[in-house]
Structures are given as C-alpha cells and as structure tokens.
Chain A
Amino acid sequence: MLQTIGVESIDELLAVPEAIALKARLEVVPALPEYLIGRRFAQFAQKNDGVNYRSFLGAGSYRHYAPPAIAALAMRGEFLTAYTPYQAEVSQGYLQAIYEWQTYLCLLTGMDLANASVYDGATALAEAAIMALGATGRHRLLVSRTIHPNYRAVLRTYCDGLDVAIEEIPFGEAGITDCRPLAQRLCEDEYAAVVFQSPNFFGNVETPPSEIVEKIRQSGAIPIGVVAEALSLAALAPPSSWGAQIVAGEAQSFGIPVAYGGPYAGFIASTQEHMRRIPGRLVGKTVDNAGRTAYVLTLQAREQHIRRERATSNICTNQAHCALIATIYLALMGGTGLRNAAALNLARSRELASAVANVANVRVKFASPFFNEFVADVGRPAGEVLAALRAREILGGLDLGRFYPELASCILMTATELTTTGDVKALAQALEEVLHVPAAV
C-alpha cells in the first residue's frame, strides 16, 4: 500500500510541523487483551454497591421494567451500527421506527407533531424555550419552581448564552405552582413562555387553571409543559388538555436504563403552528419515484448543516437509538400494558406513602394527588436520615434540602411497578428504627 501511495513509511503521511509534534510521554490507560478488559470493568462494577440496595430514588430517572425483547431487537447490528439516515433508500427501517416514535409522542402528549428526539428532558426544555423566544421575539421566561431543579439549571445555562431573563413562580402549600401572582406578572411584563411541569418535581399532578392559561395566551406568551416521568402520560390527561402548545420531556421511563444518568432520550412536541421552529431532526412520510410509501428526513432546511448560523438550533445528533428503545417499549407494552403499568405505579406509591405516614413524626407533606413520587417530611434533617438508611442498605430517596432549603427535612420518595411490598416494609421498619420511635399501629 505504501508503494501505491508513493511514500517510504507511514510516518511520512502523519508528519506534522516539528514545533507541534508530540514529544510528551502520554498517560493513557494501559492496553489489555480483550479478556482482561472485562475483568477490569468487573472490578469497577463491584464498587457500585448502590445498585444492590433497595432504592426509592426517582427524581427524573425512573426504574421501570424493560422487557428483554427490547434489547434483543435494539441491539441488532443494523440498528446499532447505522448512521444518521441521510441516504433514505437504505435507511427505511430506522426512518419508519422514528416516524413511529414521533407518532407515539403525539398520541401521548396530544400534540400535533414531535421531533426525532433531543438529548434529554433538560435540554428539551431549553430547546422549547428557544422556540418560544424565537416565535415571540421576547427575552423573558416565567418558569415554575416545581420544575426539576436540574432542568431549570440547564435552562439557565442556555439562557446565559442568549441574555434571556428567567423568573420563577413559587409553589404553595399544596406543593404545586402558586398561580395567584401569575395574572399580575403577565400584565406587567412580556414573557416568551410560561412553563409548568406535571407531574412536578415533587410528584404532584399540576393542571394549570384554564383562566390562567387563557391569560397566558392573551399576553402573547406560549404555554409550555414539561414531563419528566413519561409513564405518567399513560394515566394523566395530556398536556394538550390544559392548553400547552409545546411539550418538552424525558422518555427514559420507556425502557431506557437509568445508566447513571445517560444516554436518555428527550422529546419535543408541539402544535402545528410551531412546526417550522421545532429543532432537530424530523422524519416525514412521502413516496418514492414509483409511488411507494417511503420515509425521509425532512424540513432539513431548519437544521445546522444547511442554515448554519441561522439554524433553529445547533443540534446535530438526536438520540436515535434511545428513541428506538422507547418505541419498541411502547409497542411491547401497548396502550393496555402502559395504563396497567401506570396503575401499578400509583398503587405502589400509595402503599409506600401509607406505610411511611404510619411512622410517627413522618408525614406526607403535600395534600395534592401524586403520580409515583411524593414528599415525606421526616421531621429531622433529611441528609442524616438518608445516611442512616444507607447503613441499612436502603436508598431512601432524594434529600430535597439539596435544592429547596425550606424542605431540608423532606425526602422525595419514589415507588414504581418494581417496588415490592417487601421493599415498602423494609423502608418503614428502617425509618422507625432510625427515628427511634415505634410505628403507630
């Protein structure tokens, strides 16, 4: 080969100017034969004790049952090793799967269209906000404090780049957005969007009152809904029912492993009027040169590779493989299976709430209806209580004091269809011991 090219050595081809040539000794992990790589990672794996504890963690990442048929399909080499389907004729399978994903999201959220996925729920919110900013030409956002703190933080990061101001709406005693100051604020300032999350970070179902949504619309702002626990869409009235025009959310619940935070699959869905602003990839149905049904990436003129600095976003990859996993999950579960799974989540979380509320000095903090998470006030700094639970090999939930200083004695507890009665009993028992009080009978 070197002869064909006409050089004496490979080094000739890779030569770089002397001034910048690598001279330092590199410090990279050592090379191992393949069978030892597995062992090295087994050593890492053994240090992840938390994976074996009973867990009541949720807060934006949810343990749900993923039937093994998903992996059997999604890990097929064609799906796993395909590139972005720019050559439609040899990518019909993936394109159709993504068209199905887009459809599923519309059916679940009540929106008219959805894109081919974005990185995760937090960036989905940021991109939805950018849509609203572009559509209205305004520079302020109103965002409920009950939205996932990480999502709000990512929104802030993105808005810092755009010099956009974010104002927060407080929550009230019921643990849902306090809409009373909203009407006033909408009169005083021009907002690009008003954003609600349901179920919110505390697990509570939020339905913005219709008068408020009407005022939002009249003020020229766009109502945006956020969904962090996608399974809730199977049970709850969709965001379209309260008037959301853009829905941003996270599809991790649909069969995607929690995997220490990623990769996940965010989604953006919207009403028809926002079609041209929606970022990222879109799959459309069309025909081929003989009239056969065919799928293709469409409306690409919005995207970075064509619009460059005038693109609706810089986003390039979507989360295709994760979206595929979610689509297969939805196909396997079916509407019936999803509603059943949602019902199990409701049942288990109420079982948990009951058991926990039975422990003296512990109460469920908010009276609102919740999906699969709720806030337990344990009467003492949550951090201490959680540490003591860890000593009993239980991950009792999330210390809310981490994000809400006024909730320092509160733990966000989650139960899903995978939570057993044994888990619930163990947590209640452990709480009793930790709080040194006998449970009320």
Chain B
Amino acid sequence: MAPPGGLLFSKEHEWVKLDGESATIGITDYAQNALGDIVYVELPRIGATIKQFSNVGVIESVKAVSDLFTPISGEVVEINEALEGDPAAVNREPYGAGWLLKLRVSDPNETKNLLSATDYEKIAVD
C-alpha cells in the first residue's frame, strides 16, 4: 500500500501529516504488516505534552508488542477512539481510518528530523 502524498516519516515507521499547527500521526503500512493482527492500541491522554521520538504508547498484536514513538512534539488534542472497538482499522487503513492521534505542533522545525516518502521507502524493507 503506497502512502498518500504529503506525509513525512520517522525511522520507527510512523507517519505524520501536517496541517498548519496541527498534525495527524499513525503507523505505516510496513509497520502494520510486520506487527500482524493488531488487537489493542494504547494512546497518550488528551492534553499530554509529548516530545519528538519519545515513547508515547503501545501497539499490541497477538504475539508482540511495539512501542509507539511520536514523530513530532506537541500537545495531544485528539485520539482515535474508534480503535478501542476496532483496532483492526490500523491494519486495514494505516493511513486513513487507522490514524492514531492528533497534536497541536509545538515546533514545526522538527520536521527536518523526519524522512521524505522516498527516503522512508529505502528503510521500509525486510
């Protein structure tokens, strides 16, 4: 599954879509495939301040658990509550309905630490 345009990526296989001051974050198709069937997602609380590349949550599949690192700093303004009842959305649409959280970005310059789609493609290999 190719990602839609306009996204930036982290080495930990997260994507971020920036829209002015706000950002939407999720995991990549490569990540969801590697994890297998996702059964639960643990996300930070609304209002939490998170720092770029810090561990902010957990993604559980049946046999494994993976840390979720935020690709950018900011304040959590929304989390995808639908994942509580339908964690499989992350597998089905990692770039769409399977989004994880939305932030108010604190430092837009941090994007210089992220990868373009082309650069990410190079590391998203088995």
Contacts and interface: CB of A to CB of B under 8 A. Distances in A.
Q: Are A and B a genuine interacting pair, yes or no?
A: yes
Interface of A: 276, 299-301, 306-307, 310
Interface in B24-64: 39-40, 42, 58, 60-64
Contacts of B39: 299, 301
Contacts of B123: none
A306 B58 contact: no
A289 B13 CA distance: 32
A276 B62 contact: no
A300 B62 contact: yes
Contact of B40 (A276, A306, A307, A310): A276
A299 B65 CA distance: 11
B63 to A, nearest CB: 7
Nearest to B64: A306
Nearest to B55: A310
Residue among B42, B63, B64, B65 with the highest chain A CB neighbour number at 10 A: B65
A310 B63 contact: no
Top-9 shortest CB links A-B: A301-B60, A301-B65, A307-B65, A306-B65, A306-B64, A306-B63, A301-B64, A301-B39, A301-B61
Nearest to A296: B62
Contacts of B62: 300-301
Interface in B52-95: 58, 60-65
Nearest to A303: B65
A301 B40 CA distance: 9
Contacts of A310: 58, 65
A310 B57 CA distance: 12
Nearest to A276: B40
Contacts of A307: 65
A276 B60 CA distance: 11
A386 B42 CA distance: 56
A395 to B, nearest CB: 50
Contacts of A301: 39-40, 60-65
B40 A300 contact: no
A276 B41 CA distance: 11
Nearest to B42: A276
A300 B58 contact: no
A299 B58 CA distance: 14
B88 to A, nearest CB: 15
A3 B122 CA distance: 50
A300 B60 CA distance: 9
Nearest to A308: B65
B2 to A, nearest CB: 29
A307 to B, nearest CB: 5
B81 to A, nearest CB: 15
B118 to A, nearest CB: 33
6 contacts: A276-B42, A301-B40, A301-B63, A306-B63, A306-B64, A306-B65
A310 B68 CA distance: 13
Nearest to A307: B65
A307 B66 CA distance: 9
Contacts of A306: 63-65
Residue among B42, B61, B62 with the highest chain A CB neighbour number at 10 A: B62
A301 B38 CA distance: 11
Residue among B58, B60, B63, B64 with the highest chain A CB neighbour number at 10 A: B60
Contacts of B61: 301
A79 B39 CA distance: 31
A282 to B, nearest CB: 13
A53 to B, nearest CB: 53
A229 B49 CA distance: 46
Contacts of A276: 40, 42
Contacts of A300: 62-63
A310 B63 CA distance: 15
Contacts of B40: 276, 301
Contacts of B60: 301
A3 B60 CA distance: 48
Given A276-B40, A301-B40, 17 more contacts: A276-B42, A299-B39, A300-B62, A300-B63, A301-B39, A301-B60, A301-B61, A301-B62, A301-B63, A301-B64, A301-B65, A306-B63, A306-B64, A306-B65, A307-B65, A310-B58, A310-B65
A70 B60 CA distance: 39
Nearest to B61: A301
A300 B61 CA distance: 9
A276 B62 CA distance: 14
B90 to A, nearest CB: 14
A14 to B, nearest CB: 35
Contacts of B58: 310
Contacts of A299: 39
A307 B64 CA distance: 8
A310 B39 CA distance: 17
A391 to B, nearest CB: 60
